[in-house]
Amino acid sequence: MNRIFSGIQPTGNLHLGNYLGAIRNWVALQHDYDCIFCIVDLHALTQPQNPDELRQATREVTAAYIAAGIDPECCIIFNQSTISAHAELAWLLGCLTPLGWLNRMTQFKEKAGKQRENAGLGLYAYPVLMAADILLYKATHVPVGEDQKQHVELARDIAGAFNRRYERDFFPLPEPQIFGEATRVMSLRDGTKKMSKSDTSDYSRINMTDDADTIALKIRRAKTDPEPLPDMLSALEQRPEADNLVSIYAALSDMSREAALARFAGANFSTFKEALSGLSVDVLGRIGGEMRRLMADPGHIDRVLRQGAERAAAIAIPVLHEVQDITGLLRP
């Protein structure tokens, strides 16, 4: 069976973008692939984190996976730092990754911004650790949102570089998988910026744990424009906020953007926003409630993570040993 690896950073404020761009697609794939879903806590450390909040967010992401419908009996769910092979393989792969490849990564440019000289080595090497995550399990497919596609393509290049250097077909070349109508959910305050956990405005995103009133309030306050909704998608091109809300509606109701727009053509935003609120509360309200129930029993979450780590180690450690043998590292 083909194998999937994907993950989310426990950086707090899991949001609708993480759900529509990642988690929801994983739920749909879990019975067709051998699935490994990670909470990438080492990646979270590429930005400053409060230790207690990091532990709490790691449990929260685990709860979100399960509440959204990922079955921990059938999929492996674990946190990255429990398998030290991730960091070890990242070093070995980093040694054959040219700086030129990393210099092209747009996420580093966006996150480092004007502070490039002060940005940490971890943030720069983030995509190499991500390649290690994927290749350690010889994953063939990586379902991600559009924003992570470039990193999966780099993992593919790194796998190819390893195979060429050691003249064997050792790593499969992983494929990015991008699904659905909302592969890049944008901020509710600025339709040109992606919805993000680290945005300082809570009104920019719908969190997976927001209650019904908060979801409705955030949608009511979402930035729009004065025009009613058009009947053609092409008319949304210069209206990023309207375009984003229509894409969210389409994704949440499992219809195409064309069909969603046809339903509301000519409507004003107050009517459309009311419908979008109802739909968002239907989908996220249930998941948020289940997350809160799971979070009340951290012992259960920790057991899921421990069992997941045991199953992950059984795959990862033999692969790391093979890589060590191939690269000439002595294992006395």
Active-site residue numbers? 111, 194, 197
The alpha carbon dihedral of 309, 321, 148, 145 has a sign of negative
The least CB distance from residue 239 to ligand AQP, in Å, is: 18
**Residue nearer to ligand AQP on the CB measure, 125 or 323:** 125
**Residue nearer to ligand AQP on the CB measure, 198 or 201:** 198
The least CB distance from residue 49 to ligand AQP, in Å, is: 10
DSSP 22: I
* CB 327 within 8 Å of CB 166: yes
The least CB distance from residue 107 to ligand AQP, in Å, is: 7
Strand partners, 326: none
Q: Minimal CA–CA distance to 112: which of 104, 103, 124?
A: 124
| Burial track 155-175 (b if 16+ CB lie within 10 A, e otherwise) | bbebbebbeeeeeeeebbebe
Q: Give the integer Cα–Cα distance in Å for 86 and 132.
A: 6
Q: Minimal CA–CA distance to 1: which of 139, 175, 136?
A: 139
Residue number with the smallest Cβ distance to ligand AQP: 21
Binding-site ranges for ligand AQP (CB under 6 A):
8-9, 11, 17-18, 21-22, 144-145, 147-148, 183-185, 194-198
**Residue nearer to ligand AQP on the CB measure, 162 or 187:** 187
Q: Minimal CA–CA distance to 4: which of 19, 20, 26, 28?
A: 26
The least CB distance from residue 6 to ligand AQP, in Å, is: 6
The least CB distance from residue 151 to ligand AQP, in Å, is: 9
The alpha carbon dihedral of 135, 136, 141, 147 has a sign of negative
**Residue nearer to ligand AQP on the CB measure, 188 or 323:** 188
Encoded tokens for 228: 């009613």
Encoded tokens for 298: 């951290």
**Residue nearer to ligand AQP on the CB measure, 208 or 260:** 208
